[in-house]
Amino acid sequence: MRLSTITHLAYAVTLVLTAISASTFILSARSASQERTAIQQHLELDDLAEELAVIAESRTDEARLYVMRGDEQHLARFYVDDDQEGHLEGSIAKLSSLGLSPEEKTMFDRIRNAADAIDAIEKEAISAYRAGRQNDAQQTLFGDEHYRLHTELLKQVEAVRASVTARSQVAVDAAKARSDFFGNIAKSMLVLTALMFLAVLYFVLSRRVALPLIRMSNVVTRLARQDYDVEVLDDGRRDEIGEMNHAIQIFRNNGLERERLDAERRKDQRMKDLMLQMMHRVQACQNQEELSDVVSRFMPQIFPDAAGHLFILKEQGSTLHSLGQWSDPAASELHFSIDDCWALRRGRPHFSEPDGDDVICHHIHMAENSNLCIPLTALGEIVGLLYLETSVHNHASPADRLYFELLAENVGLAVANLQLRQRLVGMAKRDALTGLMNRRSLDEALNRLVEDPGASLACLMIDIDHFKRFNDQFGHDAGDAVMQYVARILSEVVTGKGDVFRFGGEEFTVLLPGLTAEDAEKIAEQLRQSVESSPVSYRGRLLDPVTISLGISTSPQAGTISTVLERADRALLSAKRNGRNRWIQDGTLDQQ
């Protein structure tokens, strides 16, 4: 049968079933409306009967209270309840014409009659009370007749409520049964209609059209979101849907390739940006610790798969030590000689891995990873080594190695600049002959102490006794040896307590921050004895004994820090005038 014939037949059957279903739904809704009407009528009648009994009870109470107390408020409320009772009786009369049975109508008539009789008795009692016959009024309201009529009223109210409840329940059950019957028919028609639709959709549309289109729609939607992990199923069809699947597969392959190229481009651009940032910061470093921090922070960002070390060659030495590391490298030693690294021997990058053809550097003691050593050079001299290690299955590509070498070149220049700067700073701040800090460093140290208002300081001015005779008798080289000898002793004694400076010629200065005059005297005596008791030889010849004279000054006890050098110098002159090989504090002679 043709698809169009099946479609038209299914359409006609669907219309018939829909019409039947609509009719039964209308009948079911009408039955449900009748059910609601019966319930509403029952509730209204029940509420009226209950309210009538309550009002009658309230009127009786008000009447009794009035004849007992004589309070006009009770009388007023009695007549208010009387009006309410009249209003309710009018409502009952209207409902009687809408659906009360003859028995129920008779019951309501009895209720009204009982209520009227009670009302007449109560009004009679009120009239008697007003006439001054209080005892007659009370006997009337509390008498047997009034009690009998009131009891009869309550019985009739209960009987009416029971009758209304029973009749309403019958009507509700009947309406509910009709509603359920027509509802079930309507549901059955809807089920048949749905089955008809499902049969047509499954056998005609779903098998050959809908399911392939849904799969294609899902694939196209994910591809539009650049989700190229979706698989395009090739079901071997040779129709238009098969051609569309083939076109979608080509689109997916092109998207995958474009995504791969974009990812490589983004990765390369990010790597270049990070390298540029690293180079800028490397060139701005002022010491090797800052350089190590910059390299250790940026290398894991630029090459997240590589761990490594930054090794620095000690000046005038052949040993490299690790200045910084990142990503927990484990294969290399932390300290090793230049001869232990093939890259440093050859002056070129050296790559080695466990199963490779090349030799492995001696400083690498674990052969599970791939290792790359790149020398750090500047002006043809080796200043350090950039060491990197990766897993065997994730070793650096040729492009990455090129970036490694570019970074190594910049880091090498930075290391050389820092070393040169350090040497220049050392030359500017230290004396070339003795290695002590020079007069410029002394002035800077004093200026810092002057700026500190709470600082205390002890100062020693030292002079080598009869130094000119060493130059005249043994030559200037011997004089230099004596100068170096005294400088070494001063450094050994003062280290950890203060700083030693070469003031000029054969004079030295010692700054002892935070020490008292007594501490300074002890150190001065220790210096004097150490110099005097140590023999000095030059070129195998023992020189004459060396002695020193010392002047001591303190601040703030004896003066300000700005005058401490002048006062120590005056004390030194006093020590020299009083026989040398002694110390004096602020010009006071102290025999040893």
Q: Are 232 and 248 in contact (CB under 8 A)?
A: yes
Structure token pair of residue 24: 């039964």
Q: Are 574 and 477 in contact (CB under 8 A)?
A: no
Neighbours of 452 (CB within 10 A): 11
Structure token pair of residue 36: 């609601």
Q: Are 521 and 585 in contact (CB under 8 A)?
A: yes
Query: What burial letters (b/e) apply to 483-518, b meaning 16+ CB within 10 Å?
Result: bebbbebbeebbeebbbbbbbeebbbbbbbbebeee
Model pLDDT, residue 256: 77
Q: Are 188 and 181 in contact (CB under 8 A)?
A: no
Q: Could you list the beta-strand ranges (E) of 401-535.
A: 457-464, 499-504, 507-513
Q: What is the pLDDT along the chain (592 residues), one digit of tens a residue?
A: 444 455 667 667 777 777 777 777 777 677 667 667 666 666 666 666 666 667 767 777 777 777 777 777 766 776 776 665 565 555 555 555 545 667 767 777 777 777 777 777 777 777 777 777 778 777 777 777 777 777 777 777 777 777 777 777 777 677 677 777 777 787 787 777 777 767 666 665 666 566 666 777 777 777 777 676 777 766 666 666 667 777 777 777 787 788 778 888 888 888 889 889 988 998 888 888 998 999 999 999 988 888 999 999 876 678 999 999 998 898 899 999 999 999 999 989 998 887 777 888 999 987 677 889 999 988 788 899 999 988 766 666 777 788 888 888 888 888 888 878 777 766 667 888 888 888 888 888 888 888 887 788 999 999 999 888 887 787 888 888 888 889 999 999 998 899 999 988 889 999 999 998 899 999 999 999 998 887 787 776 777 788 999 999 998 877 888 888 999 999 999 999 988 999 998 756 444 4
Model pLDDT, residue 230: 73
Instruction: Return d(Cα 26, Cα 32) in angstroms, integer.
Output: 10
Amino acid at 446: L
Model pLDDT, residue 86: 60
Q: Are 278 and 298 in contact (CB under 8 A)?
A: yes
pTM to 2 decimal places = 0.47
Model pLDDT, residue 588: 64
Q: Indicate which residue of 389, 506, 507, 521 is catalytic.
A: 506
**Edge-to-edge strands, sheet with 507-513:** 499-504, 507-513, 457-464, 548-555, 583-585
| Domains along the sequence of the chain with CATH | 3-195 (1.20.120.1730), 285-427 (3.30.450.40), 439-585 (3.30.70.270)
- Beta-bridged to residue 309, according to DSSP, are 325, 387
Model pLDDT, residue 271: 83
Model pLDDT, residue 170: 72
Which DSSP string corresponds to 5-56? HHHHHHHHHHHHHHHHHHHHHHHHHHHHHHHHHHHHHHHHHHHHHHHHHHHH
Instruction: Return d(Cα 373, Cα 385) in angstroms, integer.
Output: 7
Model pLDDT, residue 391: 79
Instruction: Return d(Cα 177, Cα 31) in angstroms, integer.
Output: 8
**Torsion sign over Cα 102, 108, 110, 116:** negative
Give the pairing type, strands 507-513 and 537-538. Answer: unpaired
Instruction: Return d(Cα 152, Cα 160) in angstroms, integer.
Output: 12
Structure token pair of residue 393: 């299955």
Which DSSP string corresponds to 116-176? HHHHHHHHHHHHHHHTT-HHHHHHHHTSHHHHHHHHHHHHHHHHHHHHHHHHHHHHHHHHH
Instruction: Return d(Cα 403, Cα 303) in angstroms, integer.
Output: 10
Model pLDDT, residue 433: 85
Instruction: Return d(Cα 349, Cα 342) in angstroms, integer.
Output: 8
Nearest to 375 by CA among 339, 348, 341: 348
Model pLDDT, residue 2: 47
Q: Is 124 a catalytic residue?
A: no
